[in-house]
Amino acid sequence: MTAAVLLTVYALVLAAVAPAALQRASWVERAPRLGILAWQSLSIAVVAAVVLAGLTVAVPASAWGADLAQALNACVMMLRDSYASPQDALTITAALLASAAITARLIYSLGAELLRTWSERRRHLAVLRMVARREERLGVLVVDHDAAIAYCLPGRGGPIVLSTRALAALDGRRLAAVLAHERAHLHGHHHVLTATARGMRRAFPFVALFATAEQEIARLAELVADDAAVHAAGRLTVADALLTMADDQNTPASVLAAATHRTGQRVRRLLARTPPLRAIASLSIGVSARAAMAAPIVVAALPALLASVMDCCRMR
């Protein structure tokens, strides 16, 4: 039960404390890719800790520290002893059901969100086939619209869509910046990141962590694309292009658009010219994020590791 308690406390502390700390961290703006990794790691760590807490109640990991024959015998004896007491049997059953329910809800929500994203993409493509024309020189689809619109549809080979107003408003360098931004979304598979974050929020809407992670991952995906555009066209040009596109707020929810409601913050970030993180800082953050995900597995398996080292199998 010690591992289950530790995992539960770990999940509660992460869910309660880490989101606010991560939102205040100044390095996130300077390294948005690492910021996305941190939010993903935090979300995965919380879910994994809760699921493994239930499993460690039902099947203590110490049984797996011996060889296979001993492990199987120990597990049979532990389960028999546990279910001999009605109170223990109820606890184990509840823990198993909770772990199974959380896992099933997560799988269903992620699958449903990804399916919804692809369904919306298919419907959107069907509309574009009727109203858009192909601009071969730019490799984009163009639609007649009075607002400056630029966005990309998710998926391999997903098209970039521009409105006639956007083409008229953007000169060569600003247009190159917008196209680089959208291509960065496609190459980085940002639609998968955002859809996964929406799926986790959908699975656990009562946990504030996942709603915050969804918002932050979507915001940081835009910063990653902005940085890619900077390499293609320069900071001032990207900022100018964002301001040009900022008036339109009517792009579909399932697409990734160059201009969003946080355009002002993104422009200020571009103009601030903050230096990138040093290599050692980036490495430390990456290792910490991965360690946060690995910690629940280590805690759950620690009794087995200790039993293996001591060449014994602790019996309950």
Q: What is the DSSP string of 239-269?
A: HHHHHHHTT-----TTSEES--TTHHHHHHH
Residues of the chain with pLDDT under 50: 62-69, 72, 311-316
Nearest to 204 by CA among 105, 314, 76, 283: 105
205 and 147 assigned to the same domain: yes
pLDDT of residue 307: 52
Residues near 230 by Cβ (< 8 Å), separated by ≥ 6? 238, 270
212 and 314 assigned to the same domain: no
pTM of the model: 0.83
189 and 259 assigned to the same domain: yes
pLDDT of residue 75: 53
Say if 120 falls within a structural domain.
no
235 and 300 assigned to the same domain: no
Say if 108 falls within a structural domain.
no
161 and 221 assigned to the same domain: yes
Say if 297 falls within a structural domain.
yes
Q: Rounded distance, CA 26 to CA 73, Å? A: 53
200 and 77 assigned to the same domain: no
Say if 100 falls within a structural domain.
no
Instruction: Find where tokens 């292009």 sit.
Output: 241
Say if 203 falls within a structural domain.
yes
Map residue 144 onto helix, strand or coil.
coil
* Count: domains in the chain: 2
Q: Rounded distance, CA 107 to CA 271, Å? A: 41
User: Terminal CA-to-CA distance of the chain, rounded, Å?
Assistant: 10
Give the end of a domain, one of 275, 293, 308: 275
145 and 243 assigned to the same domain: yes
pLDDT of residue 64: 42
294 and 190 assigned to the same domain: no
Q: Rounded distance, CA 194 to CA 121, Å? A: 14
b/e code 56-92 from CB counts within 10 Å (16+ = b) = bbbbbbbbbbbeeeebeebeeebbeebeeeeeeeebb
Q: Rounded distance, CA 209 to CA 251, Å? A: 26
153 and 29 assigned to the same domain: no
pLDDT of residue 69: 46
185 and 52 assigned to the same domain: no
| Structural domain of 4 | 1-84+277-316
Say if 118 falls within a structural domain.
no
Token representation of residue 172? 């060569």
Q: Cα 81 to chain center, whole Å?
A: 41
Q: How many other C-beta atoms are found inside a 10 Å radius of the C-beta of residue 35?
A: 25
pLDDT per position as a tens digit, 202-249:
999 999 999 999 999 999 999 999 999 999 889 999 999 998 887 555
Say if 238 falls within a structural domain.
yes
Residues in a beta bridge with 135 = 140
Q: Between the CA of residue 175 and those of 22, 88, 162, 236, what are the distances in Å?
A: 34, 66, 10, 13
Whether 98 and 92 have beta carbons less than 8 Å apart is answered as no
239 and 296 assigned to the same domain: no
67 and 172 assigned to the same domain: no
pLDDT per position as a tens digit, 241-261:
998 887 555 555 555 556 555
